[in-house]
Amino acid sequence: MRLFITGGSGQVGRALRKRLPPNWTVWAPSSQQWNLENLPEGLATLDTLRPDWVVHLAAWTDVDGCERDPARAFRINTEATAHLARWAARKGVRFLFISTDFVFDGAKRRPYTEDDPPHPLQVYGETKQKAEVRILEWSGEYWILRTSWVYGEGKNFVLSVLKWAQQYETLRIAMDQESVPTSAEDLAQAILCLLHDPPSPGVYHVTHPDSATRVAWVQAILEICGIRKNIQPVPSSTFPNPAKRPVYSVLSTERWQRYGCYAFPSWKEALKRYLQEQCGF
Ligand SMILES: NC(=O)c1ccc[n+]([C@@H]2O[C@H](COP(=O)([O-])OP(=O)(O)OC[C@H]3O[C@@H](n4cnc5c(N)ncnc54)[C@H](OP(=O)(O)O)[C@@H]3O)[C@@H](O)[C@H]2O)c1
């Protein structure tokens, strides 16, 4: 198998690269070596390498940054993805893309299925949703995996909570957000499973089967690490973030479960496993 991975240095990319069989030929260039903002050159490299799969994990994931600079966000997250997908469709190369729960606005208040109409509330979600639409324009073999609240190796919310817990007695946490904290390790296992034995092309919601409020997530992080701090639930509007977050973006994973390739543990089990390494309890 010949695999070209974008975003190989990100949380999901690192977790995936650790698991790839040694007999696969893998390219995972850094953004210095291969950049989505310089795609004519990037596509010429792909022409030379002739991969079987493009696993497109790279994105500008700074949700507030995207809000401040929408032109850059659309260039990286939408336009570059569209060019890559078109290249893959033309060359008969399989294309895997990671999208987000932020394509939804949260009004439904019940788990979102793949057939629910997206309605993003912020630029980041819009860039990813428009990328999905552009991928669908090409009749290639594509898999769009939507996931949520990822933590792994790299900057993420779990590590931020541990840092805040060292600095403050009381942590102010948004009380009006619910989704699924997703372990990059489990997501990588799911991607690997898909690469070995892909289901029908299309959109899949890929995460743990149960959900958490942001407050419950923080409580679990502190409890698992044996840290005693106060949590003060506050409305999201308390924080001066430019980008709105959905109040509810839980993804229904029934389609993924029917495919039956990789069974995710509960989000809390995965978090325990992660924190064993982070806080060594
Ligand atoms: N993190 C989440 O909570 C979350 C939730 C839902 C969906 N997702 C999606 O999941 C995927 C992986 O997320 P992640 O958390 O692993 O991301 P991440 O840790 O933020 O890593 C982003 C990756 O994208 C690369 N990248 C950024 N701009 C680039 C550019 N212009 N050219 C080439 N590479 C570029 C980065 O390379 P450098 O390190 O070299 O800059 C890095 O490898 C993304 O598509 C994201 O939208 C993430």
Most ligand 1 atoms within 8 A of CB, residue of 31, 32, 147, 183 to mutate = 31
The reply to whether 187 falls in a domain is yes
Active site (annotated) includes residue 248: no
What is the rounded distance in angstroms from the CA atom of residue 203 to the CA atom of residue 245? 22
What is the CA(57)–ligand 1 centre distance, in A?
A: 6
The reply to whether 279 falls in a domain is no
Atom 48 of ligand 1: nearest residue by CA position:
150
Annotated catalytic residue within 112, 124, 142, 204 = 124
For the record, the structure tokens of 242 come out as 């430019």
What is the rounded distance in angstroms from the CA atom of residue 51 to the CA atom of residue 200? 20
Closest residue by Cα to residue 190 from 201, 205, 178: 205
Q: What is the pLDDT of residue 140?
A: 84
What is the CA(11)–ligand 1 centre distance, in A?
A: 7
The reply to whether 101 falls in a domain is yes
Structural domain including 195 reads 2-151+182-210+250-265
The reply to whether 261 falls in a domain is yes
Dihedral angle, C-alpha 49, 53, 57, 60, nearest 10 °: 50
The reply to whether 82 falls in a domain is yes
The CATH number of the domain holding residue 69 is: 3.40.50.720
Count: domains in the chain: 1
| Residues within 6 Å of ligand 1 by CB | 6-7, 9-13, 30-31, 35-37, 57-61, 76, 98, 100, 128, 147-150, 154
Q: What is the pLDDT of residue 277?
A: 81
Q: Is the pTM of this model over 0.95?
A: yes
- Residues pairing with 232 in the sheet: 172
The reply to whether 164 falls in a domain is no
| Range list of β-strands (E), the chain | 2-6, 25-27, 53-56, 94-100, 142-147, 150-151, 170-174, 178-179, 182-183, 202-205, 212-213, 230-234
Sign, Cα dihedral of 228, 157, 110, 192? negative
Q: Give me the tens of pLDDT residue by residue for the chain, a chain 281 residues long.
A: 999 999 999 999 999 999 999 999 999 999 999 999 999 999 999 999 999 999 999 999 999 999 999 999 999 999 999 999 999 999 999 999 999 999 999 999 999 999 999 999 999 999 999 999 999 998 789 999 999 999 999 999 999 999 999 999 999 999 999 999 999 999 999 999 999 999 999 999 999 999 999 999 999 999 999 999 999 999 999 999 999 999 999 999 999 999 999 999 999 999 999 999 877 65
